[in-house]
Amino acid sequence: MAAKITFDRGQNLDGDKMASIYSTARVRNRNLSLYWQDTISRTFVPCVITTLPSSFRGMVSANKVGAISYHRVAASRHYASCSADHAVPDDKDVALLSLVLSGVERVVQDGREAVLRRGDFAIHDSTRPYSLYFDTEFSQIIFQIPRALLRQRLGPFEQYTAIKLSSQEQVGRVTSDFLFSLSKLDNRLDPLIGKRLTDQTVDLVAMSLNSQFGSVDVGRSSHRAALLYRAKSFIETRLRGVVTAVEVAEALGCSARYVNDLFADEGTSVGNYVLLRRLEKCCDDFTDAVTARRVSEVAYSWGFNSVAHFSRSFRARYGMSPTEYREVVRRRS
């Protein structure tokens, strides 16, 4: 994962040819601090950058896979902060995940500080105040992940911000390597493949947080988030059969009412969540040319007892019938 830091026009952080979006090498007769602050604010969220020396260098390049945008950033030492006074654009309702390639980064949010080195990563919430400290020249990849996708897996995730996810831990290492490999891809991928990679990315990040959760003292809200994650993991293994709140509660050792309260935190219910995941699994099967089964076969295989109910639910979710969706997939392939 070694990174060669370059700041020249038209180079990415590994030295491969790739059009960069912004680079201080392009600045001529302009205020360097204002240029870099404007660059970071437009690329991520509005923030304040410390005054930069005239020798400062920095570069940002961008790409996207599915619903996840990622930016490679290389720069000299500096400090950035986002305060409560900074308005976050509607299209920036994202969690920011920093994966360090070289140097050291300190992520501060919610009273915690994560010190990250090569291969380590951490998330911070773009909608609330945070600070980033770069005490040395550094390079990193910042992934912008829709907060809604993380909430689906973790519930409220304020308790997970500014927590170091170490590449020395087994699941952390797998996730770190996957994220680095993901950053080698681009938005020329088929959109359906991009969706699958998005889901896999969020699942791995959630798994990493869950695997290191025991070492973090984050109180009762974290306990609820952990239970919700376990509930969703249990449901995932039962999608092809019958799954009820009572069964989930028995698996978690709590009451069905408590399980329903956990899902209510996300504005949904056990039944609606199961329906959503079954629809998503059916979509995955429709995109797989190898399993070119009839619509009814796919529906029954994922726990639907009525094709009519499946079709109504599918149209309500995706705005088209299962047959129309499959045709769209075939035309794209």
Average pLDDT of span 298-303: 94
Does residue 215 surpass a pLDDT of 50? no
Q: Note whether 209 and 145 are within 8 A (CB).
A: no
Check residue 13 and give its pLDDT: 39
- pTM for this model (two decimals): 0.61
pLDDT in tens, 3-17: 444 444 444 434 444
Check residue 219 and give its pLDDT: 43
Check residue 96 and give its pLDDT: 94
Does residue 88 surpass a pLDDT of 60? no
Residue 37 or residue 116, greater confidence? 116
Residue 160 host element (H or E): none
CA triple 7-9-15, angle to 5 deg: 60
pLDDT in tens, 53-78: 778 889 998 889 989 999 999 999 88
| Dihedral pair phi/psi, residue 27, rounded to 5° | -75, 125
Q: What percent of the chain is predicted at pLDDT more than 90?
A: 33
Q: In 10 A of CB 20, how many CB atoms? A: 21
Tokens of 5: 């830091």
Tokens of 86: 């900074």
| Residue ranges of domains in the chain, CATH in brackets | 22-188 (2.60.120.10), 219-332 (1.10.10.60)
The CA distance from 270 to 261, in Å, is: 9
Enumerate the β-bridge partners of residue 72.
Answer: 61, 141
- 96's CB contacts (< 8 A; 6+ apart) are 44, 45, 123, 124, 125, 126, 142, 143, 144, 145
- 299's CB contacts (< 8 A; 6+ apart) are 282, 307, 310, 322
